[in-house]
């Protein structure tokens, strides 16, 4: 990697790690678009997957007492089922069409959440369905958060319950997702090297985010989530059209 490439990757990883701690999600959503400005998508996916596992595993363990385990496990199971299909889609559908579809879907979901859509009455099928879509997105565009956020927000999960549950799901699905990438030969030497070099930036983002997250709760937390989703949707559409 050149110095310029390292700087871009470091900024992406630092920003993504910081936001992930505060909101409970968003690592791949932020890191991928920024990293791909300077390094190939296949390399960025490896960096995002490796450092994403560190982020979600740490939060899942640290906050395990606050997680809704039945919901988190149902989401993870749905993701496991969807991941193989995501790999097929990755090899068949163009990256541009995938990201455009994702961006439009995220913007629609954000609009529904802004209107305080409630699906708290819906049974386990909501979790399995959202998990399945998340798994497909995980192995096709390395962005699996929006369906999980949508499911938990429509169940009115807030603050630490939201963060703990979504990171439990992320941790489990990221391990399986990375295993599938390894089996398909998508983990390259360049990706491993970039992840190792970016590790200090990841640690710095984590360290800065923890003291701030305690101030983000209630309505403030809800608007942080909505803003993140809106930014993710817009960036996916712009990235697809450029």
Averaged pLDDT of the chain:
84
Find out whether 187 and 152 touch, Cβ atoms under 8 Å: no
Whole-model pTM?
0.79
Burial-class residue 170 by CB neighbours within 10 Å (0-12, 13-18, 19+).
buried
Question: What are the CA-CA distances from residue 143 to residues 45, 131, 132, 136, 213 (Å)?
Answer: 10, 12, 13, 9, 23
Q: Give me the pLDDT at residue 58, please.
A: 86
Q: Give me the pLDDT at residue 169, please.
A: 94
31 pLDDT above the threshold of 80: yes
Q: Would you report the helix, strand and coil content of the chain in percent, each value rounded to 5?
A: 85, 0, 15
Dihedral sign of CA atoms 190, 191, 196, 202 in order: positive
Find out whether 135 and 74 touch, Cβ atoms under 8 Å: no
Q: Give me the pLDDT at residue 129, please.
A: 94
SS3 call for 2: coil
SS3 call for 104: helix
- Which range of 32-46, 117-131, 220-234 scores highest in mean pLDDT? It is 117-131
Radius of gyration from C-alpha coordinates of the chain: 16
Q: Give me the pLDDT at residue 65, please.
A: 92
Measure the CA–CA gap between 176 and 182, rounded to whole angstroms: 10
DSSP type of residue 188: -
Question: What are the CA-CA distances from residue 72 to residues 86, 126, 142 (Å)?
Answer: 20, 12, 19
- Which range of 24-33, 199-208, 216-225 scores highest in mean pLDDT? It is 199-208
Measure the CA–CA gap between 56 and 54, rounded to whole angstroms: 6
Measure the CA–CA gap between 24 and 173, rounded to whole angstroms: 15
| pLDDT-based confidence at residue 228 (cuts at 50, 70, 90) | confident
Q: Give me the pLDDT at residue 79, please.
A: 93
Find out whether 174 and 56 touch, Cβ atoms under 8 Å: yes
pLDDT digits (tens, 9 = 90+) for 160-191: 899 999 999 999 988 887 887 788 777 778 77
| pLDDT-based confidence at residue 68 (cuts at 50, 70, 90) | very high
pLDDT digits (tens, 9 = 90+) for 90-148: 778 777 787 788 788 878 888 887 887 777 778 899 999 999 999 988 877 777 888 89
Burial-class residue 189 by CB neighbours within 10 Å (0-12, 13-18, 19+).
exposed
Q: In 24-158, which ranges are continuous DSSP H helix?
A: 27-35, 41-62, 69-92, 95-114, 125-141, 145-154
74 pLDDT above the threshold of 90: yes
Q: State percent of the chain over pLDDT 70.
A: 99
Lowest mean pLDDT among 24-28, 196-200, 203-207: 24-28
Find out whether 49 and 181 touch, Cβ atoms under 8 Å: yes
72 pLDDT above the threshold of 90: yes
- Which range of 22-31, 95-104, 150-159 scores highest in mean pLDDT? It is 150-159
């Amino acid at each position: 990697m050149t110095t310029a490439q390292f700087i871009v990757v470091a900024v992406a990883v630092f920003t993504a790690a910081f936001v992930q701690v505060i909101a409970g999600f968003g690592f791949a959503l932020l890191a991928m678009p920024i990293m791909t400005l300077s390094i190939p998508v296949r390399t960025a996916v490896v960096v995002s997957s490796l450092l994403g596992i560190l982020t979600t595993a740490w939060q899942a363990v640290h906050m395990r007492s606050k997680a809704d385990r039945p919901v988190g496990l149902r989401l993870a199971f749905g993701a496991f089922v969807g991941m193989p299909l995501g790999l097929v889609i990755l090899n068949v559908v163009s990256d541009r069409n995938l990201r455009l579809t994702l961006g439009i879907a995220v913007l629609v979901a954000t609009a529904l959440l802004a209107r305080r859509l409630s699906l708290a009455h819906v049974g386990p099928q909501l979790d399995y369905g959202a998990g399945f879509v998340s798994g497909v997105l995980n192995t096709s565009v390395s962005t699996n958060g929006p369906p999980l956020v949508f499911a938990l927000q429509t169940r009115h999960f807030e603050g630490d319950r939201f963060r703990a549950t979504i990171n439990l799901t992320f941790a489990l699905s990221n391990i399986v997702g990375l295993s599938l990438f390894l089996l398909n030969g998508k983990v390259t030497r360049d990706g491993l090297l970039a992840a190792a070099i970016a590790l200090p930036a990841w640690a710095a983002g984590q360290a800065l985010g923890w003291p701030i997250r305690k101030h983000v709760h209630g309505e403030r937390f809800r608007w942080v989530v909505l803003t993140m989703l809106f930014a993710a949707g817009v960036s996916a559409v712009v990235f697809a059209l450029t």
